[in-house]
Amino acid sequence: MKVETYLFGSVEIDPEKIITFPNGLVGFEGSKRYTLVKEDEQGASFTLQSLDDPALALLIVDPATLGFNYELALSDAEMALLQAPAEADVAVMQVLFKKDGEGKAEIAPNLRAPLVINLRAKVGLQKVMETFRPNVTLSNLASAI
């Protein structure tokens, strides 16, 4: 299937690679179909490209690359939406956003609303947490510990 995108132009998408977010994402409830684009094989980030809105592309990253670990409790409804995945089939990702402050722009992760994706069933949700108790793993990323 051929899709027009703002960032990547016209791209061919394998229908097997489409990830569906039945409830959409916060602020983008109308966009339900996405695909992952990895521009740099060495990089830790992906682009989550909407197939419903060519102008919508979100930069996402595995939280472990930022020294962050989620321990999420999913409700029965969330487990049903994700089609009761095995733990090995689940990916948790953070959406990165541009944060303006003190005259300069920064990129920051959205810690309160990670994406939870069943990689086998290609279905996901955005887990918005009312209360947030971070479990942060600090490490020296420049050298082995």
Digit-coded pLDDT (tens) for 74-100: 899 999 999 998 989 999 999 998 877
Start-to-end Cα distance in the chain? 46
* Within-domain flag for 24: yes
* Within-domain flag for 58: yes
Per the structure, the count of domains in the chain is: 1
Residue 127, pLDDT > 80, answer: yes
* Within-domain flag for 141: no
Task: Give residue 145's pLDDT.
Answer: 41
Which pLDDT tens digit goes with each residue over 31-47?
Answer: 999 998 877 777 778 89
The CA-based angle 48-53-55, given to 5 degrees, is 75
Residue 19, pLDDT > 90, answer: yes
* Within-domain flag for 130: yes
* Within-domain flag for 144: no
* Within-domain flag for 120: yes
Higher pLDDT, 110 or 93: 93
In this prediction the pTM is 0.82
Q: What CATH number is given to the structural domain containing 57?
A: 2.30.290.10
